[in-house]
Amino acid sequence: MNRSIIRYILGQVLKLESAFLLLPCIVALIYRESQGIYYLITIAIGLVIGVLMTMKKPKNMVFYLKEGCVATALSWIVMSLLGCLPFWFSHEIPSFTDALFETISGFTTTGASVLNNVEALSHCNLFWRSFTHWIGGMGVLVFMLAIIPMSGGSNINLMRAESPGPSVGKLVPKIRYSARILYYIYIGMTLLEIVFLLAGRMPLFDSLCTALGTAGTGGFGIKADSMASYSVYLQWVVTIFMILFGVNFNAYYFLIFGEVKKAAAMEEVKAYFATIGLAVAGIVICIWNTTSGFFDALTKAAFQVASLMTSTGFATVDYNAWSSTAKTILVFLMTIGACAGSTGGGIKVSRFISVFKTVKKELDSYIHPKSVKKIKMDGKPIEHDVVRSINVYFITFILLFCVSLLLVSFEGHDLTTNFTAVLATINNIGPGLNMVGPAENFGFFTPFTKYVLMFDMLAGRLELFPLLILLHPALWKQAFKRPSSWKKRGGK
């Protein structure tokens, strides 16, 4: 294992995060908040450790998928540990476990909070909570690849380990330019949402935090009622942008460069919009009688559907009070998630399409045993390795979900609370149902359960395997294996 490149990447991540931490310092300066000093202390800690880890550049800059997964998983853990320090140092979140939970929830774009009164936080802490969503939405390593030159030709392994979805490819020949294109689109859409929010007379600070949370599909609100107190216009702006950020970013690349037919032909995107349309229609029928009319029902249904399918987690109503049918539809959406290659969470639409096509192929083989058919997506055959990895993903997801559900059940809460708490964290949704509903929070769980849910949040954001590989005994044997050069110098 190339340990030196992993160490170097972790150091670069710490330095990059230290640079990001300057923004809440500026917010603290604007609002004259003393909490800004804790961000400066955290920046100093991150820079010192980061500089020490990157002082010696690795001789071998090549790394494979194994190193990519390890570096990605450790980067997100280290990033969360550093990012939680301002919350903890300022005592606005006095428990280290709670501060870490809030930070991991932010970076993984989950949006599950342990706070009872979010409005009591300082502006700089509120901004950092929302900004962690934006950083985690596209991925800090993708950002690092876009701005820091890294040779070796194996950078795609970092992007594959961090990007959501069953497969990641290059938009252009060089991975660095692919990362830049993704961030240009990401930044452009974020700025566009801010403009629309300001046009609806939302205050600048609120617009920034809301847009950052929407772009990363995270959902940390800066008000106790999330988005309920904002105007219908603002709710529709957020609804539309939540849906847009849940679209595969490859579609935007095709549209920007005039390849409209390619964008329109993407099966996943069409299935994504069709699912949203059907879900909205179903929930409107369920809640029409409890609202003030069709448009009110449509507004509430569209917002909640967009929020939960894209794993954003904003809310305008307490959908705990809705009928069982409406809540069942929402749980289905939480499971499906957004498109691969978007900032959304969940299992991803493309995986479900692949599984449905695999089942259809199996049924066809019973009717026509001698027929040989390949599963296709967008008119192109899906490689057997991709189909196999998707099937393995589903199996692993179910196993991890069941183990987590069992561990969480030790606290003795009701099944709906436990089930949706695990589902909401492993799929990076945020709120669930009952005790973890949109009007509640995760603060009542014990530290043990919170660490289980933190693991689920990280596993869900990193597509399970980059984090699970850290638990493999063979990896640790390789990690602590003595280098051959050390043995030649006389080491025993």
CB 378 within 8 A of CB 265: yes
Q: What confidence tier does 429 reach under pLDDT thresholds 50, 70, 90?
A: very high
160-164, 285-289, 415-419: which has the minimum mean pLDDT?
160-164
Q: What confidence tier does 137 reach under pLDDT thresholds 50, 70, 90?
A: confident
Judge whether residue 132 has pLDDT over 90.
yes
| Alpha carbons 82 and 47: distance in angstroms, whole number | 11
Q: Say if pTM beats, i.e. exceeds, 0.75.
A: yes
- Which pLDDT score is estimated for 260? 87
Which residues in 327-356 are b (16+ Cβ under 10 Å) and which e?
A: bebbbebbbbbbbbbbbbbbbbbbbbbbbe
CB 215 within 8 A of CB 137: yes
- Which pLDDT score is estimated for 341? 82
| Alpha carbons 337 and 308: distance in angstroms, whole number | 8
Instruction: Taking residues 6-13, report their average pLDDT.
Output: 89
Which residues in 114-130 are b (16+ Cβ under 10 Å) and which e?
A: bbeebeebbbbbbbbbb
* Most confident option among 34-48, 126-140, 330-344: 34-48
Instruction: Taking residues 330-338, report their average pLDDT.
Output: 93
Burial class (CB in 10 A: 0-12, 13-18, 19+), 380: exposed
* Most confident option among 81-85, 108-112, 430-434, 463-467: 81-85
Q: What confidence tier does 490 reach under pLDDT thresholds 50, 70, 90?
A: very low
> pLDDT tens digit string along 352-381?
998 898 888 888 888 888 777 788 887 788
| Alpha carbons 206 and 126: distance in angstroms, whole number | 10
Through-space distance between the first and last CA atoms of the chain, rounded to whole angstroms? 20
CB 221 within 8 A of CB 112: no
| Alpha carbons 158 and 163: distance in angstroms, whole number | 8
Q: Which residue has the tokens 């640790």?
A: 476
Nearest to 124 by CA among 156, 95, 74, 90: 90
- Which pLDDT score is estimated for 6? 86
| Alpha carbons 451 and 136: distance in angstroms, whole number | 19
Judge whether residue 168 has pLDDT over 50.
no
Instruction: Say which residue, 219 or 485, is predicted with more confidence.
Output: 219
Mean pLDDT score across all residues of the chain? 87
185-199, 377-391, 401-415: which has the minimum mean pLDDT?
377-391
- Which pLDDT score is estimated for 474? 78
The pair phi, psi for residue 376, each rounded to 5°, is -120, 150
- Which pLDDT score is estimated for 61? 66
- Which pLDDT score is estimated for 462? 87
Instruction: Indicate the helix (H) or strand (E) that contains 328.
Output: helix 324-336
Kindly list the distances between the CA atom of residue 336 and the CA atoms of 268, 331, 347, 428, 436, in Å, as whole numbers in the listed order: 12, 9, 5, 12, 20
Other beta carbons less than 10 A from residue 64's beta carbon: 11
Judge whether residue 135 has pLDDT over 80.
yes
